[in-house]
Structure 1
Amino acid sequence: MTDDPELDPELDPELAPRLESDSAATPPARRVGGVLRRSPLLAVVIFVGGACGTLVRAALETAAPAAPAGVPWTTLVINVVGSLLLGLLLESLTRTGPDEGWRRTARLGLGTGVLGGFTTYSTFAVETVGRLTPQTMAVGLSYAVGSVVLGVAAAAVGYRLARRVLGRAPVSGQAG
């Protein structure tokens, strides 16, 4: 058994022979390369989705740039909305069936690609550090804590919204 559920032979018996020959110490970069070799189309879907999400984020941040000492509202809203949408997407996909076919493509293209490109941890981190000065310490700390709390809360709302809309349907073939 591996730590990666996508590579767990108990979840996908077709992977068992390949995993037995792989070392448990296979570097993550090599595993990603294996995914690319198995499904280059999914890599393209992720790439295109990521480019689209990044372009939307860049356009929003250009239209409403953060004030140097104030709360970076645009980044905060982007990350909270992205968290909500990711919770909604992932729970919706989970409740409609197994992670294969169109569901896997949607998860990778929309979740990893579009929403991964749309949201931004690095900008959040840089904006937080830039506000951790004696003059703006309260803003920086409030922004950091508020972003994490609101992001987690938004993901939970998205998750619950999907459950409410789709009902308590069985998850991936399990009795519910």
Structure 2
Amino acid sequence: MTPTPELPVDPDVDLRVPADRGELAAHPAAVLGAIAAGGALGALARAGLQATFPHPPTGFPWATFGINVVGSLLIGVLMAVLTARPAGPLLRPFLGVGVLGGFTTFSTYVVDTQQAVTAGAPGTALAYLAATLVGALLAVWTGDTVTSRLLVRAGGAAR
């Protein structure tokens, strides 16, 4: 028996969904370029917000909290839109992985938590840890659910 050649697989692509398989048609260099360009834009937006709204080590990091919750909401919106109306093979990598991946910053979330604990504010660290986790999960669910319902009402594809 001749082995079948392996296709390059993006773990976010469901190969059982024809629209998702379309993403595999893009050249890997184009996908990486789209992700890099989007990531640069997202990271610049995040850095600008964090510079505009700094916080002391013992204070609640509102900028990072807001960035992660808003970014999670937008990820939910994007996934609902792309599920209802599939787009070109570079849109999800550019917006989802690049822009929103560069914008959200769960690594800074962990660093902010560690700094608050080290600075003697474990209560702030625990509140921030829990609020970000719950806020981000609720935001992505809300973005996906509300957008899906709006798209169905507007005549988009039903789930």
Task: Please indicate, yes or no, whether the TM-score normalized by the shorter chain is above 0.5.
Answer: yes
Aligned to 2:131: 146
1:122 match:
107
Percent identical: 36
Q: 1:159 aligns with which of 128, 132, 144?
A: 144
Letter in 1 for 2:73: L
Match of 1:72 in 2: 61
The aligned counterpart of 1:60 is 49
The alignment's C-alpha RMSD in Å is: 2.7
Which structure would you say has the larger RCO, counting Cα contacts within 8 Å and 6 or more residues apart? 2
Letter in structure 1 aligned against 2:92 = R
TM (norm. structure 2) is 0.80
Q: Is contact 1:5-1:11 (8 Å) kept?
A: no
SS in 2 for 1:132: helix
Q: Measure, in 2, the Cα distance between the counterparts of 1:119 and 1:125.
A: 12
Whether the 8 Å contact between 2:57 and 2:119 is mirrored in structure 1 is no
Query: Which aligned pairs between 1:1-20 and structure 2 lie closer than 5 A?
Result: 4=11, 6=13
1:84 aligns with 2:79: no
Report Cα offsets for 1:122-172 as digits up to 9, x if no partner: 11010011112483111001100110000000111100121122017546x
Give 5+ residue unaligned stretches, structure 2.
Answer: 1-5
Query: How far apart, CA to CA, are the structure 2 residues paired with 1:141 and 1:5?
Result: 31
Q: Indicate the SS of the match to 2:117.
A: coil
Deviation at 1:117, TM superposition (A): 0.3
Give 1:3 shift. 9.9
Distance 1:55 1:149, change over 3 A: same
Equivalent pair of 1:86/1:155 in contact (CA under 8 Å): yes
Q: TM-score, normalised by structure 1?
A: 0.72
